[in-house]
A and B are shown apart, each in its own frame.
Chain A
Amino acid sequence: MGKIIAFIVIILLAILLIPFISVKWKGMITVTTVTFIAILSGSLAFQALSGENAEFLFTGSSVTGEIPVRIDALSGWFIVIINFTCITGAIYGLHYMKAYRSQKSNLSLHCISFILVHSSLICICSLQNAIAFLIAWEIMALSSFILIIFEHYKRETLNAGINFLIQSHICIMFLTLGFIWVAMRMNSYDFKAITLFSSANSLLTGVALFLCFFFGFAIKAGFVPFHTWLPYAHPAAPSHVSGIMSGVIIKIGIFGMMRMLLLIKIDYLVIGYFILFISIVSGIYGVMLAIVQHNLKRLLAYHSIENIGIIGIGIGIGCIGVGMENQLLAVLGFAGALLHTLNHSLFKSLLFYGAGNVYQSTHTMDIEKLGGLSKQMPHTAFLFLMSALAICGLPPFNGFISEFLIYNGLFTGLYASDNALTLSVVSGIFALALIGGLAMLCFTKAFGSVFLGTARYNLQHPAEESNFGKLMPMYAVFILIIAIGLFPKPFVIALSEPLHLFTYHLHNNIPLERLQITATMSMIGWCSVAFSGMAGLIFLLRKIMVSNKPQTINVTWGCGYIAPTAKMQYTASAFVRTYRKLAEPVLSIHKKKKEIQGIFPKSGGQETHPYDKTEEWFIDYPLQQLKKFFNRFIFLQNGNLQFYILYGVAFITLVLIVPLAFDYLKALIKFLNQL
């Protein structure tokens, strides 16, 4: 209990303090507060992960009822992820925001919101009372809105922020609906009521209730077609905020989904197929759109959708496993999903920090304008490359470990002689392999055109490497990425408690340590070590062999052409042109083309503006129709004051007359009846 009170006191103190201190110290206070919060909640989370659940009870008010704070292994796992990313984000942000020192009040608001986001995320993981949960959720939504619109003087940023705010509230609406449904029947806001409610009612009710929560959480997590806020909000926010949003805020949707899976008694098989299907669509669609983006941060945002898809495939497989009473399948699915949640929070935040370095150094995020940065920014280039390899799921990095778990789950699912399962599992394998390949295309494009080759564009500022303060948290994330990649076994073992929550009720449930999977994990670790070692050894051998040979530096070979310019190199759009041609029916790309004409041609050019087809269909089209409909009444708004007064008068008369007329009508009918 002491820890929770300390938690609240620290947050309140920091929030009260921040507006009154100098700009220099605001960031420091934020970092210390975030660290303290992380230590307090982290200790409880680690306890939970080792099997000791923490449970406290607040009396609450007459409206909310008792407010239980329960930290079980699932909450623990997510709290650990949130803490790590928020600490690195805060330290990175401390140095990132130095460029904005002149905006004092804006910075105070930013710092306070940052602390609020971190603490509300932890609260969401641990509060188990519907109303308290929704309040925490709302605090998170509002404070992340403020974080996003830090550069509110830019129109685009504000648009993105409002888009985010509206979609967050649609998400909250779904959640509220679900909670109210339960509370209405059970008269309690405790999460335990959800379990009671769903076990007292039919499975179909359970599925309906789950879907209600699922839509809510899916908007936050960014499953297709609920993803449309993501590609706007991520590029608009400052980079450390994008890192945290992509790393942990969207993951809270995954947390909610998994929490509901634990709470609601449902037909796991049906839900499993449903989640698997929607995740496959999200995964493929996300990465397909990512490839054609020109804005580096937006490209990364679409990749979050892809990775949410991969996590979802894991959850789907896990649910099917629980539904079929197949422990191995359930363990592989959920372990893959949970580990990928951690992994994605690492490499995606690292990628966003890298993009932040690039942005602060070059003041642009347009991939087509960048190039050759690896020479001026070697550390950033190295870290970006490593995280790019990790996000593509390549060994020896962490992304491979979780994707391998999911692959393994899919292959295990093959053996169950059930046609529906076999077919969905095969489509899962197909999807995952395709996603892997597409991700590679995307990140070779992103890394290649931003960091390699020569500069394409005369930047106003010479690009330079970021300072140690920004690189330090990035290297911390990088070390963890490598650690998971090379020594995955302890991280999978750490998952045994959260996995136990999902599988303990299955018969013949054996502990995780005794499953084949842990042995495989250590084997993969050693193989990855061997791979890195082998690469190092060969490189060393090459160095020795080459050392006494003549080496010359020359220009890139241009097939006889001796005046190479930066304009000759492949651009990012050219790199993915063949792909774009193939994928054009699925994507929606607006092209602007100016052909070269005449004997002495003037300049020509081509611009492509990728757009999202689901957004076009599900959001833009209905809005357009609505607008069209309301435009028919535009004559009412003619700007003439007299008319507006007339409307007022008409309205008041109407209000007065209608009940009167109703009464008369009733009297008339009564009279007619009496006849």
Chain B
Amino acid sequence: MVSFILIILASLAFTGVIIRTKSITSGRKGPGIFQPMKDLIRLFKKGAVYSKTTSFIFQVAPSIYFASVLIAIMVIPLGQYKGIISFEGDFVFFAYVLGTGKFFSIISALDTGSSFEGMGASREALFSMFAEPAFFILMGSFALLTGHTSFQEIFASLHFGSYISYILGVLATFVLAMITMVENSRMPIDDPNTHLELTMVHEVMILDNSGFDLGMILYATSLKFAMYGALIANLFMGSFPIYLIIPIFFVIQLLFAVSVGILESFTARFRMNHNAQYILALSSVAFLIFLGVLLVLGQFN
């Protein structure tokens, strides 16, 4: 329960921090941290325009997408404190629930019959597909290291064994951060700000959404950022007491948001046709972590 509330809180400022960082690095004054949330509230109050091509899928998809992100957040623990949902193998549920949401967002893009949205949908389907094995191998490695198969147990017992686990944690952070970028269609994979439809992924999928639906989709992005941020934070929290965990959580979220901002300011986007290979390469980093775990466990002898 604690983690759910904290993630919601973090999500309120996350996108704002990214935008602020970007504006500072580029020497602009930039909007306030809560500006994206203000925009969202404005969106929630608006009416909507629907394409006459669309069917019921287009109407229900944003709600399901949003629900999937909320349910996924419920799975995430806070150090030794369980999330609202916790059971053996809950990270499989986590990944697949997000998958359901993604399925709906993809088909809702196809529902508009637009030439651009199909393009975005195609890319999103392919990219997120390649990110999935990396996530599972990462979690599998930690399961092997700790001997548990639920988020909470894995994170609670991650650092009991050896300090090498912190190094693995850093590698895992890289993988998770990259998965976050893929899932949210951010910088090295996709640039949400180009406004050249031919090079966009996620943004081009939601061209036809408006009003409340668009608000939900945009807020889901913030939620997803905070969700993966919480996962990364969990890698380092271990079994600290609660009065330490909450500050650590927010510091790591802040660091994550700032580094996303910096990353977005200083990197160029990949060429679209190399993206898939790049994302698949994440799996090999995950394999590295797996080999590291085998090393720690002394299975090479």
Instruction: Determine if chain A interacts with chain B.
Output: yes
- Asked whether A551 lies within 8 Å of B137 as measured between CB atoms, the reply is no
- What are the residues of chain B within 8 A of A440 when measuring CB–CB? 99, 102-103, 106, 125, 129
- Asked whether A557 lies within 8 Å of B51 as measured between CB atoms, the reply is yes
- Asked whether B137 lies within 8 Å of A430 as measured between CB atoms, the reply is yes
Q: A440-B99, A452-B107, A556-B112 are in contact. Are A545 and B212 (CB under 8 A)?
A: yes
Q: Does B294 contact A (CB under 8 A)?
A: yes
- Asked whether A438 lies within 8 Å of B88 as measured between CB atoms, the reply is no
A537 to B147, CA, bound (A): 37
- What are the residues of chain B within 8 A of A574 when measuring CB–CB? 118-119, 122
Q: A448-B106, A556-B208, A557-B114 are in contact. Are A381 and B55 (CB under 8 A)?
A: yes
In terms of DSSP, what is the predominant structure of the interface of chain A? helix
A52 to B162, CA, bound (A): 52
- What are the residues of chain B within 8 A of A18 when measuring CB–CB? none
- What are the residues of chain A within 8 A of B121 when measuring CB–CB? 444, 448, 570, 575
Q: A417-B297, A578-B273 are in contact. Are A542 and B110 (CB under 8 A)?
A: no
- Asked whether B299 lies within 8 Å of A395 as measured between CB atoms, the reply is no
Q: Mark B276-301, 1 if CB is under 8 A from A, else 0.
A: 11000001000000100010010100
- What are the residues of chain B within 8 A of A408 when measuring CB–CB? 88-89, 92, 149
Instruction: Give residues of chain A (44-92) contacting chain B, Cβ–Cβ below 8 Å.
Output: none
- In addition to A542-B62, A549-B47, A575-B110, 12 A-B residue pairs with Cβ atoms within 8 Å of each other are A385-B57, A392-B99, A394-B103, A417-B299, A429-B136, A437-B129, A440-B102, A440-B125, A451-B55, A542-B213, A569-B118, A574-B118
- Asked whether B107 lies within 8 Å of A454 as measured between CB atoms, the reply is no
Within the complex, the shortest CB–CB distance from A532 to chain B, in Å, comes to 9
Interface size, A (range): 35 or more
Q: Choose from A393, A523, A564, A570 the contact partner of B96 (Cβ within 8 Å).
A: A393
Q: Does A99 contact B (CB under 8 A)?
A: no
Choose among B48, B107, B207 the residue with the greatest number of A CB atoms under 10 Å from its CB: B107
- What are the residues of chain A within 8 A of B197 when measuring CB–CB? 559
Q: Does B257 contact A (CB under 8 A)?
A: no
A379 to B283, CA, bound (A): 40
Q: A542-B212, A568-B115 are in contact. Are A578 and B276 (CB under 8 A)?
A: yes
Q: Does B163 contact A (CB under 8 A)?
A: no
Interchain Cβ contacts under 8 Å between A and B, 8 examples: A422-B144, A448-B121, A452-B113, A527-B85, A530-B74, A531-B67, A568-B114, A568-B115
Q: Mark B160-189, 1 if CB is under 8 A from A, else 0.
A: 000000000000000000000000000000
- What are the residues of chain A within 8 A of B283 when measuring CB–CB? 430
Closest 3 CB pairs of A and B: A570-B118, A437-B129, A448-B110
With CB as the reference atom, state the residue of chain B lying closest to A371. B113
A511 to B283, CA, bound (A): 38
Q: Does B270 contact A (CB under 8 A)?
A: no
- What are the residues of chain A within 8 A of B147 when measuring CB–CB? 415
- What are the residues of chain A within 8 A of B208 when measuring CB–CB? 556-557
Instruction: Give residues of chain A (559-576) contacting chain B, Cβ–Cβ below 8 Å.
Output: 559, 564, 566, 568-570, 574-576
- Asked whether B53 lies within 8 Å of A556 as measured between CB atoms, the reply is yes
- What are the residues of chain A within 8 A of B96 when measuring CB–CB? 393-395, 400, 403-404, 436
Q: Does B116 contact A (CB under 8 A)?
A: yes
Within the complex, the shortest CB–CB distance from A442 to chain B, in Å, comes to 9
Q: A516-B88, A554-B50 are in contact. Are A430 and B114 (CB under 8 A)?
A: no
Q: Does B28 contact A (CB under 8 A)?
A: no
With CB as the reference atom, state the residue of chain B lying closest to A381. B55
- Asked whether A570 lies within 8 Å of B122 as measured between CB atoms, the reply is yes
A578 to B111, CA, bound (A): 20
- What are the residues of chain A within 8 A of B97 when measuring CB–CB? 394-395, 531
Instruction: Give residues of chain B (110-156) contacting chain A, Cβ–Cβ below 8 Å.
Output: 110-119, 121-123, 125-126, 128-130, 132-133, 135-137, 140, 143-144, 147, 149
With CB as the reference atom, state the residue of chain A lying closest to B60. A539
- Asked whether A374 lies within 8 Å of B56 as measured between CB atoms, the reply is yes
Q: Does B256 contact A (CB under 8 A)?
A: no
Q: Does A535 contact B (CB under 8 A)?
A: yes
- Asked whether A555 lies within 8 Å of B52 as measured between CB atoms, the reply is yes
- Asked whether A578 lies within 8 Å of B128 as measured between CB atoms, the reply is no
- Asked whether A569 lies within 8 Å of B130 as measured between CB atoms, the reply is no
- What are the residues of chain A within 8 A of B66 when measuring CB–CB? 538
- Asked whether A578 lies within 8 Å of B49 as measured between CB atoms, the reply is no
Interface size on B, residues (CB 8 A): 82
Q: Does B158 contact A (CB under 8 A)?
A: no
- What are the residues of chain B within 8 A of A395 when measuring CB–CB? 93, 96-97, 100
With CB as the reference atom, state the residue of chain B lying closest to A569. B113
Q: Choose from A403, A451, A549 the contact partner of B48 (Cβ within 8 Å).
A: A549
- Asked whether A534 lies within 8 Å of B67 as measured between CB atoms, the reply is yes
Q: Does A546 contact B (CB under 8 A)?
A: yes
Q: Does A389 contact B (CB under 8 A)?
A: yes
Q: Does A434 contact B (CB under 8 A)?
A: yes
Within the complex, the shortest CB–CB distance from B42 to chain A, in Å, comes to 13
- What are the residues of chain A within 8 A of B110 when measuring CB–CB? 444, 448-449, 452-453, 570, 575
Q: Choose from A411, A415, A426 the contact partner of B89 (Cβ within 8 Å).
A: A411
- Asked whether A444 lies within 8 Å of B103 as measured between CB atoms, the reply is yes
A30 to B203, CA, bound (A): 54
With CB as the reference atom, state the residue of chain B lying closest to A526. B85
In terms of DSSP, what is the predominant structure of the interface of chain B? helix
Q: Does A661 contact B (CB under 8 A)?
A: no
- Asked whether A394 lies within 8 Å of B100 as measured between CB atoms, the reply is yes
Instruction: Give residues of chain B (213-239) contacting chain A, Cβ–Cβ below 8 Å.
Output: 213, 216
- What are the residues of chain B within 8 A of A582 when measuring CB–CB? 276-277
Q: A395-B96, A440-B125, A557-B208 are in contact. Are A433 and B64 (CB under 8 A)?
A: no
- What are the residues of chain A within 8 A of B128 when measuring CB–CB? 437
Q: A438-B129, A448-B110, A452-B111 are in contact. Are A524 and B93 (CB under 8 A)?
A: yes
- What are the residues of chain B within 8 A of A666 when measuring CB–CB? none
Choose among B67, B87, B125, B216 the residue with the greatest number of A CB atoms under 10 Å from its CB: B125
- What are the residues of chain B within 8 A of A535 when measuring CB–CB? 60, 63-64, 67-68
Within the complex, the shortest CB–CB distance from A675 to chain B, in Å, comes to 74
- What are the residues of chain A within 8 A of B56 when measuring CB–CB? 374, 378
Q: A408-B149, A438-B129, A570-B121 are in contact. Are A546 and B212 (CB under 8 A)?
A: yes
- What are the residues of chain A within 8 A of B122 when measuring CB–CB? 570, 574-578
Q: Does A593 contact B (CB under 8 A)?
A: no
With CB as the reference atom, state the residue of chain A lying closest to B197. A559
A447 to B87, CA, bound (A): 33
- Asked whether B53 lies within 8 Å of A552 as measured between CB atoms, the reply is no
Instruction: Give residues of chain A (351-378) contacting chain B, Cβ–Cβ below 8 Å.
Output: 371-372, 374-375, 378
- What are the residues of chain B within 8 A of A559 when measuring CB–CB? 116, 197, 207
- What are the residues of chain B within 8 A of A417 when measuring CB–CB? 297, 299
- What are the residues of chain A within 8 A of B46 when measuring CB–CB? 549
- What are the residues of chain A within 8 A of B119 when measuring CB–CB? 570, 574
Q: Does A585 contact B (CB under 8 A)?
A: no
Q: Choose from A394, A414, A453 the contact partner of B111 (Cβ within 8 Å).
A: A453
Q: Does B70 contact A (CB under 8 A)?
A: yes
- What are the residues of chain A within 8 A of B144 when measuring CB–CB? 414-415, 422
- What are the residues of chain A within 8 A of B129 when measuring CB–CB? 434, 437-438, 440-441
Q: Does B71 contact A (CB under 8 A)?
A: yes
A573 to B64, CA, bound (A): 27
With CB as the reference atom, state the residue of chain B lying closest to A552. B49
- Asked whether A453 lies within 8 Å of B112 as measured between CB atoms, the reply is yes
Q: A552-B49, A557-B207, A569-B113 are in contact. Are A520 and B87 (CB under 8 A)?
A: yes
Q: Does B250 contact A (CB under 8 A)?
A: no
With CB as the reference atom, state the residue of chain B lying closest to A400. B96
A550 to B212, CA, bound (A): 12
Q: Does B44 contact A (CB under 8 A)?
A: yes
- Asked whether A527 lies within 8 Å of B71 as measured between CB atoms, the reply is yes
- Asked whether B113 lies within 8 Å of A429 as measured between CB atoms, the reply is no
- Asked whether A419 lies within 8 Å of B113 as measured between CB atoms, the reply is no
Q: Does A137 contact B (CB under 8 A)?
A: no
A549 to B57, CA, bound (A): 20
- What are the residues of chain A within 8 A of B213 when measuring CB–CB? 542
- What are the residues of chain A within 8 A of B143 when measuring CB–CB? 411, 414
Q: Does B211 contact A (CB under 8 A)?
A: yes
A531 to B119, CA, bound (A): 29
